[in-house]
Chains A and B, each alone.
Chain A
Amino acid sequence: MPAGLYRALLTVAGAVAAIVLAIIISSVAIIAAGASPGAAFAAFFNYGETERSVVNGITSMLNRSVPLFIAGLAVAVGFRMNLFNIGVEGQYRIAAICAAYVGSTFTAPAPIQIAVIIVVAAAVGGLYALIPAIMKVTRGVNEVISTIMLNYIAISLTAFLVRGPFTGERGEGLLTTSTPEMPQSAWFPNLNWIFEVFGLPAPRGGGLWGFLIVAILLGVGLWVLLERTRFGFEVKASGLNPSAAVASGVNAKKMVIAAMVLSGAIAGLIGLPEILGDKHAFGSNFTPGLGFLGIAVALLGRNKPVGIAVAALLFGFLDQAQGPLQFANVPPSVIMIMQGTIVLLVVIANEITRRLALRREERRAAQELGRNTPVEVAA
């Protein structure tokens, strides 16, 4: 069997084993909570009786996955270089409010308006990530500490901005605060036509967010950048062996700044699917916590765009069961337990499969050497 195929099979087998184990562990938790595991797992696949509720369920799963995917990408860019950007949380919140505010201040043709909003979000996220990057290269401040601290600043700052300088008109008798609503030209067109092509009814709410397309393009673009360019190679080399990378002429400081800013710029886009596709403003109901979830998604996806997409879809799939689980009288915290165990087990499985593959490779190389024939290195 070729080594590449063997590795791929091992990875898949490891992931499947991790998910099966996670199901067993969650079953124990479900029984302990006094519910039936059968009913719980049926609830995950219960999208309702009518066509419309099935469409709604699929839409909410995809809509949940899109920001998680972007968050996973943002974290993964740093992880590739052994840079732990824990600050994705703060970067995306501050970027989201600035983008939503800027988007509400002018009206332009839709493509221009949306492009400006996306650029503002990426710029704000990237600039906010530049702070810990500069602190690291000039003063050696650990980026984990500085990004965590900057998260607190960003969260408080957005809370201040949304009720202070950036606040919009509040609806009569409403207590939620938000930035002014953006003009219609800033509303990202939804993808409800996909359902209509299949003769299904359009989903309710904001519909299937059109930002899905941007996310896919972003994933492909990032894959090309990381796997097929010199920059990507230098990122990888700096992560695998920093001193070897420096010795071979990679500018370590430049790489830290570039990777951190790229990570922050992607992080800046996390809030846009929700803002452009549904809420059309940044308000007190804006979804928090996506930056932290992005860490789990990136880990689960092994820092590769395809893996991150699968991980984001898995999280979206689990999260959309919040309602159905409660209809089946199962406490929804089961979802958190499942997500936690899956991440933990997949990380363990990754490490085991990596070691297995390495050992097999070593054994094969030793045999080939013993036979005195040229060694074909496949890894």
Chain B
Amino acid sequence: MAAAACGSGTGGDTTASAQPSADASSAPAAGALKVGLAFDIGGRGDKSFNDAAYTGLEKAKTELGAEIKELSPASDGSNRGELLRQLADAGYNPIIGVGFAYGEDIKKTAEEYPEIQFAVVDSASNAANVTGLLFAEEQGSYLAGVAAATKAESGHVGFVGGVENDLIKKFEAGFAAGVKSVKADAKIDVKYLTPDGDFSGFKAPEKGKVAAEKMYQDGAEIVYHASGDSGLGVFQAAAAAKKKAIGVDSDQRQTIKETELQSVVMTSMLKRVDVGVFEFIKAFQGGAKGGSNVIYDLKVDGVGLATTGGEIDDIKDKLDEAKKGIVDGTITVPAKP
């Protein structure tokens, strides 16, 4: 399963599964593969987004024999472009920027180094040698919505978004559609922690806690969060209210350090950044060129639900049915609320 479309113009979108396998025999010698990756603010160890990207990079090291280098930006993010250039000057190719904040810097750097292939996670391709790695978060969130509405007897659930931008609105839209598909009269409390442009909402657990506490007090039974580190606050509120929450990005029942909070995480909406990163590197080895977007959706398991803890095993049939509907196109999930 190769990732990038070969030779198509800028702006063409492809689904990962739609592409034929890359011809492995045309791949360059494994030792020559040097992959550079630049994290977003937060860097390694965030137990979520950045770490997932690193997992994909490590897999490329063990399975493809790639030499890897990963860099974190300064805490003010002022040197994103510099890091990309330093990787390029040190001979790394391809180079991956993790997070939509790289969108503009990748474009500039890609134009300066046309001989190098770039990829950016969560942002669209904007140059001939840039591949956009996008995820169908709304589809995974739809399943989370189905799970939440089925489990919440009162039909009252909540959504906590980190930052009110188009990316997080995709989570909300999918979640709401999933909930309504089960209970058309369900009540969904929605709260964003910070407005668009202010990214502190992704690292403000205390704000997440306040927002979720209010929802639980108002009667919500399950709260789904898409708020990065702030999700910890949502889990704390859930534990205090003896109710449930849904995690995001990685399997948070496994990744959160606070063991006493693990049991409140009913399930997590997985966003397989690791798959995206690994498949991009593999496709590059196969000779793929950028200039287009690759969308990781339910069909290729680019998004999905975590089953750790077994709390959603009893509604598996219902979830599989929804998944099947999305994959075969009978259910269309909105990407905007």
Residues of A within 8 A of B (CB): 48, 50, 52-53, 56, 60, 64, 155-156, 159-160, 162-163, 171-177, 204-205, 279, 283-285, 287-290, 319-320, 322-324, 326-327, 332, 336
A326 and B90 alpha carbons, distance in the complex (Å): 12
Q: Please tell me if the beta carbons of B89 and A56 are within 8 angstroms of each other in the complex.
A: yes
| Residue in A closest to B168 when the chains form the complex, CB atoms | A175
> Among B79-87, B215-223, B298-306, which stretch is in contact with chain A?
B79-87
Is B131 at the interface (CB under 8 A from chain A)? no
Given contacts A48-B86, A205-B81, A205-B85, contact A176 B104 (CB under 8 A): yes
Is B69 at the interface (CB under 8 A from chain A)? yes
Q: Please tell me if the beta carbons of B77 and A285 are within 8 angstroms of each other in the complex.
A: yes
A-B pairs under 8 A by CB, number: 118
Q: Please tell me if the beta carbons of A205 and B82 are within 8 angstroms of each other in the complex.
A: yes
Q: Please tell me if the beta carbons of B104 and A48 are within 8 angstroms of each other in the complex.
A: no
A173 and B134 alpha carbons, distance in the complex (Å): 10
Cβ proximity bits B96-118 to A, threshold 8 Å, 1 near / 0 not = 00001101110011001000000
A285: chain B residues at CB < 8 Å are 77, 80, 101, 104-105
| Residue in B closest to A324 when the chains form the complex, CB atoms | B86
A159: chain B residues at CB < 8 Å are 194-198
11 contacts between A and B (CB under 8 A): A48-B86, A48-B89, A172-B126, A173-B125, A174-B124, A175-B103, A175-B165, A177-B196, A284-B199, A290-B76, A323-B87
Q: Looking at the complex, which one of A174, A175, A279, A332 makes contact with B72 (CB distance below 8 Å)?
A: A332
| Residue in A closest to B83 when the chains form the complex, CB atoms | A323
| Residue in B closest to A60 when the chains form the complex, CB atoms | B82
A289 and B82 alpha carbons, distance in the complex (Å): 18
A336 and B13 alpha carbons, distance in the complex (Å): 42
Is B65 at the interface (CB under 8 A from chain A)? no
A153 and B199 alpha carbons, distance in the complex (Å): 16
Beyond A204-B109, A320-B79, 10 extra complex contacts between A and B, CB < 8 Å? A56-B85, A155-B198, A163-B197, A176-B103, A205-B109, A285-B77, A285-B101, A323-B71, A326-B69, A327-B71
Q: Please tell me if the beta carbons of B103 and A319 are within 8 angstroms of each other in the complex.
A: no
Q: Looking at the complex, which one of A279, A284, A322, A327 makes contact with B197 (CB distance below 8 Å)?
A: A284
Given contacts A163-B196, A176-B103, A204-B112, contact A287 B78 (CB under 8 A): yes
| Residue in B closest to A159 when the chains form the complex, CB atoms | B198
Cβ proximity bits B194-210 to A, threshold 8 Å, 1 near / 0 not = 11111100000000000
| Residue in B closest to A59 when the chains form the complex, CB atoms | B82
Is B334 at the interface (CB under 8 A from chain A)? no
Q: How far is the CB of A329 from chain B (nearest CB, A)?
A: 10
A56 and B86 alpha carbons, distance in the complex (Å): 9
Q: How far is the CB of A155 from chain B (nearest CB, A)?
A: 8
Cβ proximity bits B281-298 to A, threshold 8 Å, 1 near / 0 not = 000000000000100000
Q: Please tell me if the beta carbons of B124 and A173 are within 8 angstroms of each other in the complex.
A: yes
